[in-house]
Structure 1
Amino acid sequence: MNVLAQEGPSNPLLPHMSEMVVGGFAFLFVLFFVGRMLVPRIQKVLEARTEAIEGGLKKAADAQDEAQRALAEYREQLVEARHEAARLREEAREQGAQIKVELREEAQAEARRLVEAAHAQIEADRKQAFAQLRTEIGRLSTDLAGRIVGESLEDEARQRRVVDRFLEELETANAEQAVR
C-alpha cells in the first residue's frame, strides 16, 4: 500500500513534509536572490529618482528665486526710470520757463531800443521841423513887418535879429504859461 495510505487520514490543509522542505528552500533561494540582486538595483533606481526629483525641485526653487530677484530688480529700475523721467520733465519745465523769461527780457529790451530810437527820430524830426518853421516864420514875419512899416527889411542880419527876438519872446511866454 501506499505511504500515504499508511499514515492515516490526510489533512487537505496541511502539505506534506517534503513539499514543505522544497518550498522552504525555494523561498530562501528567491529571498536570497531578491535580497542580494534585485533590492540593491531597485534601491539605486529609487535613489536616482529621488535625487532627480529633489534636483528638479531645487532647480525650480532656484529658478523661482532668480525670477523673484529679476522681478525686484525690474521694479527698482522702473521706479528709478520714473524718478528720472519726472526729474527730466521738471528740468525741461524749468528750462522752458527760463527761455520764456529770457525771450521776454530780450523782447522788452528790443522794444525799449525801438522806442528810444523812435523818440530820437521824433526829436530830430521835431528839431528839423522847428528849424524849417523858424525860417519860414522869419521870412513871413519880415514880409509882414515890411508891409506894416512900409520899408523893406531885406537885410538878412536885421531879419535874423528881429525873428530871433520874436521867437525868444514867444518861447518865454509859452514857458511862463506852462509853469502856471
Structure 2
Amino acid sequence: MNEALILAAEEGANPLVPNIWEILVTLLGFAVLMYIVVKFVVPMFEKTYAERTEAIEGGLKKAEAAQAEASAALDEYKQQLIDARTEANRIREEARAEGAQILADLKAKAGAESARIMEQSHVAIEAERQAAVVSLRSEVGTLATELASKVVGESLADDARAARVVDRFLADLETQNAGAVK
C-alpha cells in the first residue's frame, strides 16, 4: 500500500483533491435525481398531503356538524321533556279539579236525595198522623157516644146529635190541651 501512495505522489495527483470528471458526473447524477424528485415525487407527496388535510378538515367539519346536531337534538329532547312534565302536571291538576267537582256533585246529589227522602218521610208521617187523628176521632166519638148514652140513660142513635156531642167533646179536649201546653 505504501507503494500505491508513492506512485500516486509521483504522478502528481493529490489523493485529497477529487477528480473533476468525478465531480461533474456526481453533480449530473444529483441534478437528474433532484429533477425526478422535484418533478414526480414532491407533487405526489403534496397531493397526498392535501388529500389527508382535506379529509381531516372534512372529518372535523362533519364532527362539528354532528356535535351541533346532537346538541340540537339534546335541546329538543330537554324541551320535550319539560313540555311532557308540564302536560302531566296540567292533566294531574285537571284530574284533581275534576275529582273535586265530581265529589261536590255527589255530595250535592246526596244532600238533595236526603232532603227529598226527609220531605217524603215528613209527608208520610203527616199523612199517618192525620189518619190516626181521624181514626181516633172516630173511635173517641163512638166511645163518647156510648158513654154519654150510658150516663144520660137514653139512646143517642141520632147521627146528627151524636156528631154534635162528639165535636163539642173534642173541641173541649183541644182547648184543654192547648191551655196545658202553654
Q: Give the TM-score range, shorter chain.
A: over 0.9
2:41 corresponds, among 38, 42, 57, to 38
Q: What residue number does 1:97 align with?
A: 100
Report the counterpart of residue 55 of structure 1 in structure 2. 58
Q: What's 1:152 paired with?
A: 155
Query: C-alpha displacement at 1:149, in angstroms?
Result: 1.3
Runs of 4+ in 1 over 2 A off after TM superposition: 2-5, 14-17
Number of aligned residue pairs: 176
Q: Which runs of 5+ in 2 are unaligned?
A: none
* SS in structure 1 at match of 2:127: helix
TM-score (normalised: structure 2): 0.91
SS in 1 for 2:155: coil
Residue 141 (structure 2) pairs with residue 138 (structure 1):
yes
Matched residue, 2:113: 110
Q: CA deviation at 1:168?
A: 1.0
Partners of 1:72 and 1:130 in 2: CA distance: 85
Pair 1:77 & 2:80 matched:
yes
**1:7 maps to which residue?**
12
1-structure distance, mates of 2:14, 2:142: 183
Taking structure 1 as the reference length, the TM-score comes to 0.92
**Which whole-Å CA distance do the structure 2 matches of 1:39 and 1:68 have between them?**
42
Higher relative contact order (Cα pairs below 8 Å, separated by 6+ residues): 2
C-alpha RMSD over aligned residues: 1.6
* Partner residue, 2:23: 20
